[in-house]
């Protein structure tokens, strides 16, 4: 068994690599520029593997270069799957999509049967990627994973949770935030990486599967947990620019399917994640 990974040097990829090492699984990086179809073709043709974990993507949903979302997330993935179908027919391909494909109509704990209504270029590009996968259904074993929010050591501070943790680590007197009371599913990158690796090795996984924690926390909850851990209580200021219009009150992952498919997998708690991030150098 040999697993190829795209995006191995990215935020999630570094943890996937560590887990594959711990599991004793042979792995190899596919590091071609997904926007360069010829480079992707060469990389796949020259790489021997049985399964693929595809993580490479433009991931920051607030990015301004909308073309890059489609060039990489959609068209780049199609080029990758075409090459894999030609050179590694039958390979299982784990594709990292996003729970953002469910869109603003989703509320509460959402399962995989919920309709998709993505909003914004990032979410639409991920759903466009998903819509292309039936073209390869007869040649590849494709599994779409839809992760909900997740964080951890190494995530850039432009993302919400690392930003809050950084303020607590520095003892900043105040934090500017958006809506403090919407409740979301905040996962741990280590748990997400474990899920991807286990999914790549699972017997007959489903074609689409959520990955999250199955628990909900508000931004206010995160602030209170960090306050209890550090004894520091910054002043919270609401910046209207950070408040999203029509934010649903609650949104989390129904992980019933994930637990049935991978009964030995267990997501970490938000307390575990925040403590780990606080202790990081």
User: For the segment 203-218, what is each residue's pLDDT rounded down to a tens digit?
Assistant: 999 999 999 999 999 9
- Those residues with Cβ within 8 angstroms of residue 54's Cβ, 6 or more apart along the chain or in another chain: 5, 6, 7, 77, 80, 93, 94, 95, 96
3-state secondary structure of 218: strand
Position 75 in a domain: yes
Position 70 in a domain: yes
pLDDT value, residue 46: 97
- Rounded to an integer, what distance in angstroms lies between the CA atom of residue 223 and that of residue 147? 23
CB 201 within 8 A of CB 27: no
**pTM check: above 0.85:** yes
Q: Retrieve residue 15's tokens.
A: 């943890």
pLDDT value, residue 105: 82
Closest to 210 measured CA to CA, from 255, 241, 264, 153: 255
What Rg do the C-alpha atoms of the chain give, in angstroms?
Answer: 19
Closest to 70 measured CA to CA, from 148, 142, 131: 131
Number of domains in the chain: 1
Position 256 in a domain: no
With both helix axes pointing from N to C terminus, report the angle between 75-87 and 121-132 in degrees, rounded to the nearest 10.
20
Q: Sign of dihedral through CA atoms 224, 213, 113, 119?
A: positive
CATH number for the domain spanning 99: value is 3.40.50.720
Position 91 in a domain: yes
- Rounded to an integer, what distance in angstroms lies between the CA atom of residue 221 and that of residue 205? 34
- Report residues of the chain scoring pLDDT below 70: 61-63, 245-246
Closest to 249 measured CA to CA, from 228, 271, 275, 218: 218
- Rounded to an integer, what distance in angstroms lies between the CA atom of residue 272 and that of residue 96? 24
pLDDT value, residue 64: 72
Position 42 in a domain: yes
For 24, the domain range is 2-152+187-214
> pLDDT tens for residues 37-66?
999 999 999 999 999 999 999 977 666 788
Position 6 in a domain: yes
Closest to 205 measured CA to CA, from 196, 213, 214: 196
231: DSSP letter: S
Percent helix / strand / coil, the chain, rounded to 5: 40, 20, 40
pLDDT value, residue 241: 81
CA-CA distances (angstroms) from residue 195 to 8, 21, 25, 33, 62? 15, 15, 15, 25, 26
Position 263 in a domain: no
Q: DSSP per residue over 177-207, as a string?
A: ES-SS-EE--EEHHHHHHHHHHHHHSSS--S
Position 236 in a domain: no
């Amino acid at each position: 068994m040999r697993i190829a990974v795209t995006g191995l040097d990215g935020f999630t990829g570094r943890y996937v690599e560590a887990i594959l090492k711990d599991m004793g699984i042979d792995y190899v990086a596919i590091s071609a520029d997904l926007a360069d179809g010829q480079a992707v073709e060469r990389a796949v043709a020259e790489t021997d593997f049985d399964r693929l974990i595809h993580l490479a993507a433009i991931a920051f949903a607030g990015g301004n270069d909308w073309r890059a979302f489609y060039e990489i997330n959609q068209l780049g993935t199609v080029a990758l799957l075409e090459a894999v179908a030609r050179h590694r027919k039958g390979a299982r391909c784990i594709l990292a999509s996003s729970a953002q494909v469910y869109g603003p109509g989703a509320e509460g704990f959402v399962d995989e049967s919920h309709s998709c209504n993505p909003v914004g270029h990032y979410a639409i590009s991920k759903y466009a990627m998903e819509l292309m996968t039936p073209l390869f259904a007869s040649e590849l074993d494709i599994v779409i994973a839809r992760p909900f929010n997740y964080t951890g050591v190494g995530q850039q501070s432009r993302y919400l949770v690392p930003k809050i943790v950084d303020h607590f680590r520095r003892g900043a007197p105040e934090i500017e935030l958006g809506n403090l009371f919407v409740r979301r599913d905040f996962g741990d990158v280590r748990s997400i990486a474990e899920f991807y690796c286990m999914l790549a090795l699972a017997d007959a996984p489903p074609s689409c599967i959520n990955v999250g924690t199955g628990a909900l926390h508000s931004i206010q909850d995160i602030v209170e947990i960090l306050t209890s851990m550090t004894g520091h209580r910054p002043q919270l200021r609401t910046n209207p620019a950070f408040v999203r219009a029509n934010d649903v009150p609650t949104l989390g992952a129904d992980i019933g399917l994930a637990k049935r498919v991978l009964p030995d997998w267990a997501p970490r708690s938000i307390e575990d994640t925040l403590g780990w991030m606080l202790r990081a150098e």
